[in-house]
Structure formats: structure tokens, C-alpha cells
Structure 1
């Protein structure tokens, strides 16, 4: 008998930020370039920061309702204690990024590119990652109401001590996506290929799997 294939865990790089220069939230504008700075506090609500570039940057304790980050290019950065009921960030690129202790309601992350992204202690509402390319993503101690991975390519994603209420994987391509332990409602069961689930989770979606495969269940 062949041994079961082991699910590979996300590879999350450790981010160490030191000797950061203090900056004001007002310095963050569309198309601006920031490296080695710390923004502590401020209101980013309603701002258009399209195309902003952040490197080795920490932004903490900000309000960011209806903040626009379209096409943002972010690497080796930390976002802590964000309050963002609505966040719009389509076609953004995140590499080696930590988002922690934040409350984010509806977030538009469609067509994003992520690599080594860690969300820790966050409460998230509707997270739209449709059509995104995601590699090495970890959710730790997070609550997510709805996670939309429709049409996304996902490699090595895991959820530790987290809760996802609803997951849409319609048309997704998954590899090493560990869903074990989550009590969730799944849409697009055909997109679960490449995911790892426990026996109870599979039993709960067995009827929908059978319908997708054209299997008639007769009592």
C-alpha cells in the first residue's frame, strides 16, 4: 500500500525590522516609494494610494476605512492593529508580509500575488482573493466570515487555530492547502482537488461531491 502524501506547510520567512525612521501618515500618497520607515497611528480612510511601494515598512494603529491600494507593491513589511471596515487592494503584490491584530471587514484582494504572507490574530469579514496567485500563506488565530478563492492558484496555505465560516473554491487550483479542523461551508467542491481535509469534513460534503460526480444516492 502506498504511503499517504504528506501535506507541505507554508514556508513563512521571519521579518526583522530595525532602525526604522518615523514617518507621518500624510507622507503616504499614490505612487510614492517608502523604505525603512514606521508609521504609528493616523487616519488613512478614503485615501487613494494606488501604486504605492513599501519596503521594510511598519504601519501600525491606523484607521483605514475605504482605503484604496490598487497595484500596491509591498515587501518585508508589517501591518499591525489596522481598523479597516472596507479595504480595496486589487492587483497588489505582497511578499514577506505580516498582518496582525487587525479588524478588516470587506477586503478586495482580487488578482493579487502573494508569497510568504502571514495573518495573525485578525478578524476578517468577506475576503475576496478571486483570480489570485498565492504561495505560502498562513492564517493563525484568525476568524474569517467568507473566503473567496474562486479561480485562484494556491500553493501551501494553512489555517492554525482559525475559523473560516464559508469557503468558495470554484475553479481554483490548489496544492498543499490544509483545511483540516475548519468547520466551514464549501462552495465549488470541484475546486477542492489538492486540498487536505479530515474525515468529518469530507463526510459533511459527501452529498455535494456525489452530485458533482454524477453519483445517485439511493436510500
Structure 2
């Protein structure tokens, strides 16, 4: 996976050809549990509170995480398809080679997370929390991110393609080299110094100038 505009070359998850279904999480998920080379399909994971859980080489398909906090989780070679991740708390997570495809992720908490080679494709991350997250080799494609909080986040070789960023908060984020030209950015919260080196379309430049208090003469 690559994006020539940002040199955002992303390595996909390395999943085995065959995965065994994980047994139901009847006993719950406990801190420091480790799950490797399995899949979860059509399940609901409810009311779980655990730290430092590890999922490696895992496929989640149509899984709903409800009232669940898995702080400092580590996800390596993991794929989420059509999952319900609304209000899932995975703050402080470490994600490496992870794909989120068509997921409902309204209010997801990735504050302070580290993301490497991660793709969000067709997801709804409205009101999501990415504050002080460290993103490198990450792509958001056709995602809804209105009012998402990226304050203080670090973006390196990250692509935002055709995303809705209206009212998103990006104050203190480092956007040098980030292409926002095909995103909706009305009402974005940002400082002038944060925009240094960012790539925007001409019409966006006018809107941003007005946001900064400049008077643009027509």
C-alpha cells in the first residue's frame, strides 16, 4: 500500500492463510493476556477492563466492543472488518501493521497511542481521540473525522485522503508535508505555526486565512 503524494508506504498485516476461531471470551479478557493467530467473527465483547493485552495475527470481523477499555493494548498484524469500536478505550495502545476497514469508531480513544503502518479505510471516527498520538506510515482514506481531537499529535509520512475533518482539533499537531488538499477542513482548530509545510488547496488557503483573522480581499 502506498501514497505517492506523501511517500506513505504501508506494510499490510501479515496474517496466516488459515486462522482458527478464538473460543468465546466467556472468562473475560485479563490484563497481560496474549492471543495469537486466530479470528473472532460476529461476537460481542462487553464490559471488559484490562491492560497490556496482546493480539497478534488476528482477524476481527463484525465484532462489537461494548463498554470496554483495553488500555495499552498491543496490536500486531491485526485486521478489523466491519467492527463496532464506538467509545472503545485503547489509549496508550501500540499498533503495528493494523487495518481498520469500514469500522464504526465514533468516540474511539487512541490518546497517546503509537501507530506504525496503520490504515483506516471508510471508517467513522467522528469525535475520536488521537491526542498526543504518534503516527508514522498511517493512512486515513474516506474517513469521517469531524470534531476528532488530534491535538499535539505527530504526523510523519501520514496520508489524509478525502476525509471529513470539519471542526477537528489539530492545535499543536505537526503537519509538515501532510496533504489536506482533498479533505473538508471547515472550522478546523489549528494554529498558524501548525500549518507550516502542510499542503492545502487554494480555496482552503483562503478559508484558513480567514480563520487566522486575515481579511481576504475578493
Report the TM range for the smaller structure's normalisation: 0.7 to 0.9
Deviation at 1:217, TM superposition (A): 7.7
Q: What residue in structure 2 maps to residue 151 of structure 1?
A: 152
Deviation at 1:37, TM superposition (A): 0.8
Over 3 Å counting, the alpha-carbon distance change for 1:62 and 1:216 in structure 2 is: closer
Contact 1:106 1:126 in 2 (8 A): yes
Instruction: Trace 1:32-181 onto structure 2 (pairs within 5 A).
Output: 32-181=33-182
Tell me the TM-score normalised to structure 2 length: 0.87
Over 3 Å counting, the alpha-carbon distance change for 1:56 and 1:103 in structure 2 is: same
Q: What residue in structure 2 maps to residue 13 of structure 1?
A: 11
Contact 2:172 2:191 in 1 (8 A): no
Q: Distance in 2 between matches of 1:73 and 1:131?
A: 17
Q: Aligned residues, how many?
A: 210
> Aligned with 1:186: secondary structure?
coil
> Aligned with 2:151: secondary structure?
coil
> Aligned with 2:146: secondary structure?
strand
Q: Distance in 2 between matches of 1:30 and 1:147?
A: 28
> Aligned with 1:143: secondary structure?
coil
Deviates most, 66-75 or 43-52: 43-52
Q: Distance in 2 between matches of 1:141 and 1:38?
A: 26
The answer for unaligned runs of 5 or more in structure 1 is: 1-5
CA-atom RMSD in angstroms: 2.2
Larger proportion of strand: 1
> Aligned with 2:66: secondary structure?
coil
Q: What residue in structure 2 maps to residue 22 of structure 1?
A: 21
Contact 1:136 1:155 in 2 (8 A): yes
Deviation at 1:111, TM superposition (A): 0.6
Contact 2:206 2:216 in 1 (8 A): no
Q: Distance in 2 between matches of 1:216 and 1:104?
A: 38
Deviates most, 62-71 or 139-148: 139-148
Which of 176, 182, 204 in structure 1 is aligned with 2:207?
204
Over 3 Å counting, the alpha-carbon distance change for 1:175 and 1:76 in structure 2 is: farther
Deviation at 1:43, TM superposition (A): 1.2
Tell me the TM-score normalised to structure 1 length: 0.87
Deviation at 1:207, TM superposition (A): 2.4
Deviation at 1:91, TM superposition (A): 0.7
> Aligned with 2:203: secondary structure?
helix
